[in-house]
Amino acid sequence: MTERPWLSHYPSDVAHEIGDIAFAHLPALVSAASATYPSMIAFTQCMPNGMNGSLTYAEVDSLSDDFAAYLREVIGLNQGDRVAVQMPNSLSYPVVAFGVFKAGCVLVNTNPLYTSAEMVQQFSDSGARALVIIDMFADRLPEVLPKTSIETVIAVRISEFFPPVIGGVIRGVQKWWSRSLPKITVDHTGLQAALAAGRSRKTSAAAAIYLDGVGANTIAALQYTGGTTGVSKGAMLSHGNLVANTLQMISMCGTYMRPGHEIVLTALPLYHIFAFTVNLLGFFHIGARNILVPTPRPPSNLKRAFENYRITWVSGVNTLFNALMNERWFADSPPKHLRASAAGGMALHESVATRWREMTGTPIVEGYGLTESSPVLTFNPLDGMGKDGSIGIPVPSTDVRCIDDAGEPVAVGAPGELLARGPQIMLGYWQRPDETALSLADGWLHTGDIAEMDADGYFTIVDRKKDMILVSGFNVYPNEVEERIAAMSGVIEVGVVGIPDDKAGEAVRAYIVAELTPPTEAEVIAHCRETLAAYKVPRSVRFVEELPKSPIGKILRRELRATAVTSPTASIETQGRELS
């Protein structure tokens, strides 16, 4: 076996290394794309009813310059100051994010559905001085701001940059029909006013000063981990991390990403690292048109986007692809111009992948990464040589290996903790040197995921170390059990966790969202017994209306476990406010 067995399985159009990087920082990458594709549409925001607005590459470049000048010249931020951004997918997002980078400041992506307590924690931990927030959720600010270091609030409308008449209609519906616009009772500035103020103060000389000293090792973003396994921490992602991973992802896709020709559907939130790097940075770099959908829930919110635009790429998670295929409008008329789909964020079930290929006639491949790796580490080739059930092979300039509890490499095909190193690995955790030391050792990122590598260099995630269920001393990996159950007729979604058991220590429990004609608990258990060892078979099954999920749709096993312990027979309920 060679040191990098996966290299022999790279498609012919994929280089082994990304080579010298031409961009010193993210603003250079943004400016280069804007200069190459100035008149092309960069972003289109599509609402569930089809109403839309767009910005060209030149407009995004100019508006983000305005915002950078506002941050530095008007409100007096300094290089390295943190700016929290709390908004859904919208035309404002790239303007603000790129503006933060151009100002030499640090972006702090924040989930707009966060509670007041979660906002306080993230804003306080990051030390953010400014906040850009969607006005729909600004009613939390009186409680939040006094407990943070935020000095300036910029409020954004969901219809920002829409044509006036269309924007007015959306605003009227929000105000008078859905009543989703609370009164903002704290001092704030509207985005348009902020841009106008910045525009009056911007100069090319000042813009150059903002980036003086900013380079590959300068922090660009504090990307907070999802908190699915513990307290959320801010991963320090540098300009070099994000530029490198953007180029790694594009390189791995080869000729499937055609400069100036792709139209990508962005349903996953841009504040999440998957869509941030892959959709926002990657597709912007190649001159694609990005169709932004504020929220993909319910899946019918995506109907008009598919109908109105010649979508060529879709990125998503297993639950999104599964949900789309369960929509009659999608199944009856799959997208005709689709070329490829990329899945990440959670395991892509083989049954979902197979059905997607059959329904759309196009490839869907799974990749893998973490917030701490910007995020892409591995990806299945798009040339038809990928392996279902695997997370693929390492992207260019990346090393991946599996080790045992003693820190020694495991044999081919044996499970071990997955470690990775490459130019996309974070600098560390913000203000947490102890956590950094645990996660980064000798240049390797310890992912906490259990994986196996086959002789070809393809990796398969067995499961998260913390999600592993220990039944009478035997390891049970929830992914394996979920995959079996997901293949059953009548099952829409499934989450598997371990629950306390007096005899075995832990027992396997499955939570299932089913169709109108669901399988019975006995049928689920019998099905599992046909393909799984006895200790892996669920001891109990609960049918629920919905599974708790993260913002990108990842099933939160931590919440399932907590519910199982506190209320063994209760249904799972999720709470949240709609963004549309």
pLDDT, one tens digit per residue, over 494-548 is: 999 999 887 777 899 999 999 988 999 999 999 999 988 788 999 999 999 999 9
Tokens 């660009």 correspond to 220
Burial group, residue 278, by CB count within 10 angstroms (0-12, 13-18, 19+): buried
Confidence of residue 172 (pLDDT cuts 50, 70, 90): confident
Tokens of 166: 């269309």
pLDDT at 54: 98
Position 47 pLDDT exceeds 50: yes
Confidence of residue 577 (pLDDT cuts 50, 70, 90): very low
Distance CA 291, CA 268 (A): 11
Q: Which domains does the chain have, with CATH numbers?
A: 54-214 (3.40.50.980), 470-566 (3.30.300.30)
Confidence of residue 570 (pLDDT cuts 50, 70, 90): very low
Position 266 pLDDT exceeds 70: yes
Distance CA 219, CA 456 (A): 36
Tokens 């103060």 correspond to 201
Position 40 pLDDT exceeds 80: yes
- Phi first, then psi: give them for residue 301, nearest 5 degrees: -60, -20
SS (H, E, C) 125-173: HHCCCEEEEEHHHHHHHHHHHHHCCCCEEEEECCCCCCCHHHHHHHHHH
For the segment 143-169, the average pLDDT, to the nearest whole number, is 96
Going by their DSSP bridges, the two strands 340-343 and 364-369 should be labelled as parallel
For the segment 75-91, the average pLDDT, to the nearest whole number, is 98
Q: Please, what is the average pLDDT of the chain?
A: 91
Confidence of residue 551 (pLDDT cuts 50, 70, 90): confident
pLDDT at 573: 33
For the segment 221-247, the average pLDDT, to the nearest whole number, is 85
Amino acid identity, residue 428? Answer: G
pLDDT at 575: 29
Distance CA 189, CA 184 (A): 11
C-alpha count within 13 angstroms, C-beta hemisphere, residue 20: 1
Amino acid identity, residue 29? Answer: L
Confidence of residue 36 (pLDDT cuts 50, 70, 90): very high
pTM: predicted TM-score of the whole model, two decimal places: 0.85
Distance CA 479, CA 447 (A): 17
